[in-house]
Structure 1
């Protein structure tokens, strides 16, 4: 479903822009000196290292799940030397990647009486509602890291990965995402969808919420190598960039490797309402579960030009979306809350109220974006994995997707059209994530 946002008043234009932290349709320009070299299958690390150095380039990181190496090119001319090597399949720009939300919100505190966030309630996962809580299921949060000191995330999985110097979150985005998945049911702060799941920090984004294809690949490569020993069954990636299905075959190959291992990879669809999910990487990959954003609650309306309030289950004004292709598995799998609500003030500006979750440094804060939608789905997949393991079974990514899509709430009705926009209908309303249905 493609949205062309047409505000009621010209003044609304100021608010109806992509969320900060998202690059927009064109995206930032790749660093010409940083590339990813994809080699012929079977080219081992020593061969790759030798080929790169022989061309006068410097290897930064070798990957295990795919025959590829992240490389620094001291001179752009060296790219030609690499491309001419018979063992080199492609030389790919190492494109920038961004988180799909803006850090910020209310200041945090030490401890507080536990709140069940609106998103957790909307998807039917409030404490006591479901039998399953995520016990024994590892979840990789591929993001800015996690706050290892946050009381509402304890205990965290000690095994972690960083593409930088430490796994500790230095931004806040990963901590917020992790809390949506698995904040503990411990009477303080908030509670997540799967409060007993084990979170593992996979830090691929820096303090500004930025990374690159190669840092994401490094994190996913670590997951692929350690998933069995750590019982990691689901990966959350609330990040992405503008791109196409085939613009980085090395990145997709690692996602495919995780898929082949039976690991579900959940990805935010993006925060650019002017594009389709087919124009977002890695959300465009058919191997992932791409998640768009809806409101969890009905908002307030003080604008006399608007006929009514923005209802719950309305497509968020910022969300990237796109029709699901049943033949390939590409497209938006499901929508889930990426914000509490959208209020319209007297000046007819939309004011987003973000999802409440854990804050870097303790306490809680609010953030909005498809970054917040994806972890609701990740939490439900963790619950589904616990259910499967209780019967000595497994859960294939395709089966997780089919259950989530086939048993969603308000299929063919939601996401709803926003009263503030015109809406180009794509022929499908996939519904809103519904945990009791997925676990039925």
Structure 2
């Protein structure tokens, strides 16, 4: 490949990344998340400091969130009943529509097995498991309740900051998508095998819409924590129970910049729920610099191409290549931080006149039909779907760490893939963790 091609590919990447990451990770002045020590009383602390929180957290941890004057925040930090007081931060979805990747279709079309689902071997009728009896919480922009290819649980949740106040609601359809990102993610996980539109990895799993991002795909640490608190409270009582959480979202950050966020994730882990997250869409970062992907309690998923792209000047980008946008980072078994697995986050990468043109993953579209998006937001739900299959196979009882081990040890091409991206900014992270393999993970033998 010529140096000219490398320079062009690098330029295309930097433009895409800078546009996506704008404002993500910013602190929200005056907004705080307060976590209390075990046994402490939220009403007592609130009364003592004369504060009026927007919301109280009860199941992920004891605490609250809302606006606090600087003096109140300082006083709370000194209170012996308080474990931590941290500023709220902006967070966003890790996916985007793909230009030139195919538009939406409002009317239903003949069913397609998407390239990503096919690449990981989640072939209907071949794998015995379908996700039946497994609930999956999609912590995102919501899910389209009217899409005929998606099966939604009877409960849903919404946490949105409106007029500077964090507002929570629960009801049959309050988690309705108004962006499209969550609907696309949900389709990758569990689009029905019904002869129309697309097929998901776990087509008989039940989705629970946990809306924590707004119509622009933006949210806050506090809205995500509220969603996780709702999952912790309801996971065991809804039918079917929630066993898996998908979070295709994130922000720049560090392991300890919001201890309450990590506490909420730990709570789900302790409840036996596996949390799968997108690694991020910033090629310049590793997951150690992305929240929540840096948390040892999650399965962080990087992105690869599902199939080979078109040939240009005698060269092409093959399947299982690291996506030009993906965040990566070698998994450290001691710290638990790093990418556990890679999975398709785009159909393919075509080279056209020296530039990459990505073709997104085909999945369900807000308003009906299908559309394409790309990003680690799309690689995460492929993994979530396989996790749902594993829970069904185990009768609903398998630990999150056993799930991680199964996913990692059964990956295809361990040691050789993902292949290097040709972009100038790509740096190999030192480990080729392999690509998600639904067939091998479930112990399925092809006929």
TM-score range, shorter chain: over 0.9
Residue 377 (str. 1) matches residue 412 (str. 2)? no
Q: d(CA) in 2 for partners of 1:96 and 1:7?
A: 37
Q: d(CA) in 1 for partners of 2:201 and 2:318?
A: 23
Aligned positions, number: 422
Aligned-pair distance for 1:248?
0.7
Residue 417 (str. 1) matches residue 423 (str. 2)? no
Question: Which deviations, in whole Å up to 9, do the C-alpha atoms of 1:74-131 show, x marking residues without a partner?
Answer: x334322222322222220101110001246502222100000000000000212211
Give the corresponding residue for 1:156.
Answer: 152
Matches within 5 A, 1:98-247: 98-103=92-97, 106-153=103-150, 155-164=151-160, 166-230=174-238, 231-247=241-257
Q: TM-score with structure 2 length normalisation?
A: 0.91
Q: d(CA) in 2 for partners of 1:86 and 1:418?
A: 51
Question: Which deviations, in whole Å up to 9, do the C-alpha atoms of 1:233-290 show, x marking residues without a partner?
Answer: 0000000111111111111111001001110000000000101100010100110000
Q: d(CA) in 2 for partners of 1:7 and 1:330?
A: 36
Would the aligned equivalents of 2:305 and 2:322 in 1 still touch at CA under 8 Å? Answer: yes
Q: d(CA) in 1 for partners of 2:298 and 2:181?
A: 21
Q: d(CA) in 2 for partners of 1:7 and 1:406?
A: 39
Question: Which deviations, in whole Å up to 9, do the C-alpha atoms of 1:157-185 show, x marking residues without a partner?
Answer: 12111113631100000000000000000
Would the aligned equivalents of 2:5 and 2:355 in 1 still touch at CA under 8 Å? Answer: no
Matches within 5 A, 1:359-438: 359-389=365-395, 394-421=397-424, 423-438=426-441
Aligned-pair distance for 1:37?
1.2
Residue 261 (str. 1) matches residue 271 (str. 2)? yes
Residue 291 (str. 1) matches residue 301 (str. 2)? yes
Query: Cα RMSD between the aligned structures?
Result: 1.8
Give the corresponding residue for 2:80.
Answer: 86
Would the aligned equivalents of 2:137 and 2:242 in 1 still touch at CA under 8 Å? Answer: yes
**Alignment partner of 2:329 out of 309, 322, 333:** 322
Give the corresponding residue for 1:341.
Answer: 348
Further displaced range: 186-195 or 222-231: 222-231
Give the corresponding residue for 1:68.
Answer: 63
Give the corresponding residue for 1:3.
Answer: none
Aligned-pair distance for 1:423?
4.7
SS in 2 for 1:148: coil
Would the aligned equivalents of 1:35 and 1:71 in 2 still touch at CA under 8 Å? Answer: yes
Give the corresponding residue for 2:164.
Answer: none
Q: d(CA) in 2 for partners of 1:201 and 1:31?
A: 26
Task: Evaluate the alpha carbon distance shift between residue 13 and residue 21 of structure 1 in structure 2; reply closer, same or farther with a 3 A threshold.
Answer: closer
Q: d(CA) in 1 for partners of 2:290 and 2:423?
A: 25
Would the aligned equivalents of 2:9 and 2:423 in 1 still touch at CA under 8 Å? Answer: no
SS in 1 for 2:184: helix
SS in 1 for 2:138: strand
SS in 1 for 2:408: helix
Q: d(CA) in 2 for partners of 1:338 and 1:375?
A: 9
**Alignment partner of 1:48 out of 25, 45, 48:** 45
Would the aligned equivalents of 2:119 and 2:306 in 1 still touch at CA under 8 Å? Answer: yes
Residue 29 (str. 1) matches residue 26 (str. 2)? yes
Q: d(CA) in 1 for partners of 2:56 and 2:372?
A: 37
Task: Evaluate the alpha carbon distance shift between residue 84 and residue 420 of structure 1 in structure 2; reply closer, same or farther with a 3 A threshold.
Answer: closer
Would the aligned equivalents of 1:20 and 1:102 in 2 still touch at CA under 8 Å? Answer: no
Question: Which deviations, in whole Å up to 9, do the C-alpha atoms of 1:352-395 show, x marking residues without a partner?
Answer: 10000000000000000000000000000000111111xxx611
Q: d(CA) in 1 for partners of 2:117 and 2:18?
A: 25
Q: Which consecutive unaligned segments of at least 5 residues does structure 2 have?
A: 161-168
Q: d(CA) in 1 for partners of 2:221 and 2:135?
A: 24
Task: Evaluate the alpha carbon distance shift between residue 217 and residue 191 of structure 1 in structure 2; reply closer, same or farther with a 3 A threshold.
Answer: same
Task: Evaluate the alpha carbon distance shift between residue 403 and residue 436 of structure 1 in structure 2; reply closer, same or farther with a 3 A threshold.
Answer: same
SS in 1 for 2:96: coil
